[in-house]
């Protein structure tokens, strides 16, 4: 089963988790999905807030059986480029 995890957090926020010895939100999502799934999962993770080229070349959303989107510290009302990339992806 192909699953896409879309990490909604900024890179700086994820790095803060790592610096504190914690898992990032996308790592927690991956662990939970793998733990609760009755199927073997092929999980891909993308970070649209980190830059423009977040989908690997040749990858389409149709390649995935499901998508999980993490939360973030960002706000949809702040139409910054990192927020707009997430809106465009949705």
State how far the Cα of 22 lies from the Cα of 4, in Å rounded to an integer: 22
What is the per-residue burial (b if ≥16 Cβ within 10 Å, else e) of 18-41?
A: eeeeeebbbbebbeebeeeeeeee
pLDDT band at 26 (very low <50, low <70, confident <90, very high): very high
Quick: pLDDT tens for 27-65. 999 999 999 999 999 999 999 999 888 888 889 999 999
| Residues 65-88, mean pLDDT to the nearest whole number | 91
């Amino acid at each position: 089963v192909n699953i896409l995890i879309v990490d909604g957090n900024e890179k700086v926020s994820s790095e803060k988790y790592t610096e504190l010895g914690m898992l990032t939100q996308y790592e927690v999502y991956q662990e939970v999905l793998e733990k609760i799934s009755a199927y073997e999962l092929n999980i891909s993770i993308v970070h649209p807030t980190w830059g423009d080229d977040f989908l690997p070349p040749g990858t389409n959303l149709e390649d995935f059986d499901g998508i999980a989107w993490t939360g973030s510290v960002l706000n949809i009302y702040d139409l910054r480029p990192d927020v707009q990339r997430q809106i465009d992806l949705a």
